[in-house]
Chains A and B, each alone.
Chain A
Amino acid sequence: MRIPTMNETEPILTTWAIEVEALCKSFGNNRALSDIDLKVGRGEHVTVFGPNGAGKTTLIKILSTLSKPSSGTVRLDGEDIRNDPVRIRRRISLVGHETFLYDDLTVYENLRFYGKMYDVPDLEEHIHEVLSRVRLKSRLHDRVGILSHGMQQRVSIARAMIHNPSIVFLDEPEVGLDPQAVTMLRDVLKSINTPERTILMATHNLKQGIEMGDRVVILNRGRIVYQASREEIDTASFQEIYEHYTGTGE
């Protein structure tokens, strides 16, 4: 329970799910992120757009504790990620381009392994539950390697959900999927889109991104160049807005 100081103007009960202050990340001489400030509330869904190289993946890697910032602070559920990353990882998960799955093991074995790593109780039940949510219950004992890329991505989402995280990061999950799989993915993402769960997703898919997000952020060259809530955006003209802020366009 936080005790308010004289200077705080925010209400006592607001703990941001994701709080980023002055985040910078450099790789040698390459400055990947500069002065990122971002606050995401509990249950909010934020979509991050940006061209390749804008720093979306770098940002998500840092937020999911895979990478360390060069400077600045990141707090998840009010806790600084530097303090006890192991404990924070219980509540977060990441879905990326790579599936993090073992192709030579079955879906069941993969989920069981990750379930054990997350100390998931009643593991068997949970495995069946997450698998039915991604509509792959019938493939439980198939080797991951024989599944299509779209199905593998869904298993990866099941892996990410097995411990019921309160914050989920998604890094361009639709990459490499055919249109049918993208539609399936959208449905799956809608099903994990619950009010208690905070989601931050990076995507190239402008339409889907606006659909799913309460708020939209555009990243370009390592900086946030645009932020708006969904109400403020006109879907039709967003394409132009995006091109304007990232200097891209046909």
Chain B
Amino acid sequence: MNGSGALRNYVLVGLGFALMVAALYMVFIYVPTDKETGAVQRIFYFHVPLAWIGFLAFLVVFVCSILYLMKRAVKWDTIASASAEVGVVFTSLVLVTGSVWAKAAWGIWWTWDARLTATLVLWFTYVAYLLLRSYVTEDSQRARLSAVLGIVGFIDVPVVALAVMLWRTQHPGAIIFEGGLVPSMLFTLVVCIVAFTVLYIMLVVQSTRFRNMEADIRNMKNTQAD
């Protein structure tokens, strides 16, 4: 790896680390405790960024899928699969933190509203995407088929959200995650979102680097064998 690439990497890691420390400080020390739901509400500052990243990661998968089908450059497929792996972890955490928080704050583990249902469907789509990749062994076929799934799956999420929203007007259920934010809370939230976004970028960049290195090693082994 060249010098400027290494420097960029260190800057990214350093920035990410600094932001995380700042975020943690703000969440646990700076921001005041929520009057209504208590200390547990602090999960909110992790939950929202995680949800945002979960969706961003699949947006990246969507865009890379289109780019791969158009240009057939392996790097788009590599970024897509790296993003999907990070995205599924974040989305799983969203579902878990959301349930824990909802139970502690409002007494229920789950409700079928537009946001949660869409997140659950997104999680299933991630799982389908990763399962598909694990079952197809040939590289170009795997890239091509998962690109198709990336496109179709992404379009599905807003359609599901809309359908569930309309469904809810007929069958209203528990309402959770609402309420206003005072300025300090908003500020903390923004810092957390930025910190997690940088974390996401870092993870995807690292993952992509590793995959590229693995591919290089495989290529070297093969040219030797010839």
Q: Which A residues contact B (CB, under 8 angstroms)?
A: 27-29, 31
Contact = CB atoms under 8 A, between A and B. Distances in A.
Given A29-B221, A31-B222, A31-B226, 6 more contacts: A27-B138, A28-B138, A28-B139, A28-B140, A29-B219, A29-B222
B168 interface: no
A28 B137 CA distance: 9
B218 interface: yes
A31 B138 CA distance: 13
Contacts of B221: 29
Contacts of B219: 29
Interface in B177-224: 218-219, 221-222
Contacts of B218: 29
Give the most central of A27, A29, A31: most B CB within 10 Å.
A29
Q: What range describes how many residues of B lie at the interface?
A: under 10
A27 B138 CA distance: 7
A200 B222 CA distance: 31
A69 B104 CA distance: 59
Contacts, number: 12
Contacts of A27: 138-140
A31 B140 CA distance: 14
A31 B222 CA distance: 9
Contacts of B140: 27-28
A34 to B, nearest CB: 9
A73 B218 CA distance: 26
Contacts of B226: 31
The 9 closest A-B pairs by CB, nearest first: A28-B139, A29-B222, A29-B218, A27-B138, A28-B138, A29-B219, A31-B222, A31-B226, A27-B139
Contacts of B222: 29, 31
A27 B219 CA distance: 12
Nearest to B221: A29
A69 to B, nearest CB: 12
A153 to B, nearest CB: 29
A113 B15 CA distance: 64
A29 B137 CA distance: 12
Interface string B108-125: 000000000000000000
Nearest to B218: A29
5 contacts: A27-B139, A27-B140, A28-B139, A29-B222, A31-B222
A192 B224 CA distance: 45
A29 B218 CA distance: 7
A19 B218 CA distance: 32
B159 to A, nearest CB: 33
A63 to B, nearest CB: 19
B117 to A, nearest CB: 38
A27 B140 CA distance: 8
Contacts of A29: 218-219, 221-222
B187 to A, nearest CB: 49
Nearest to A221: B226
A27 B139 CA distance: 7
A32 to B, nearest CB: 12
Nearest to B137: A28
B77 to A, nearest CB: 12
Interface string B143-157: 000000000000000
Nearest to B139: A28
A27 B218 CA distance: 13
B176 to A, nearest CB: 48
Contacts of A28: 138-140
A29 B222 CA distance: 7
A33 to B, nearest CB: 13
A29 B223 CA distance: 9
Nearest to A28: B139
A88 B97 CA distance: 57
A78 B64 CA distance: 35
A21 B139 CA distance: 24
A69 B222 CA distance: 19
Contacts of A31: 222, 226
B152 to A, nearest CB: 23
B224 to A, nearest CB: 11
A55 to B, nearest CB: 14
A73 to B, nearest CB: 17
A31 B139 CA distance: 13
A60 to B, nearest CB: 19
A28 B218 CA distance: 10
